[in-house]
Amino acid sequence: MITHIVDKDGNEIDAANATVPSGRHFRNAWALDLTAAKAIFADKVREARAPLLEALDADYMKALEANADTAQIVADKQALRDAPTAGDSATTITELKAAWPSCCGTSPYEE
């Protein structure tokens, strides 16, 4: 029995001849569309950075109340804001996985 799947261009192909991604991290981009994988990557980064930004917001307010220097907190927050674009220059899934920004903690793509 031959199983057919539809590729990103709408063409039916034999599933046995399809290149299957090695991990399940980008399963929503199974059409092997790097643009879709980059969008998934950016969403994962946003998810990882949300609690970090929240903690930095609290630190910033505390620093303001104490008249302390906020430069490092501001720089850290900016790095987190820029983090979703870390994978923009990737040309392969492997490069995309490697592009995980260190400011967002441990990469979910480490295997």
d(CA 105, CA 8): 32
pLDDT digits (tens, 9 = 90+) for 91-111: 888 899 999 999 999 999 886
Residue 6 phi, psi dihedral angles, 5° rounding: -100, 125
pLDDT digits (tens, 9 = 90+) for 23-60: 677 666 655 678 888 999 999 999 999 999 999 999 99
Name beta bridge partners: 12: 6
d(CA 32, CA 70): 43
Asked whether residue 62 carries a pLDDT value surpassing 90, the answer given is yes
d(CA 24, CA 4): 20
What is the amino acid identity at position 26? F
* 70-84 average pLDDT score: 97
- List the one residue out of 55, 53, 10 whose CA is nearest residue 31: 10
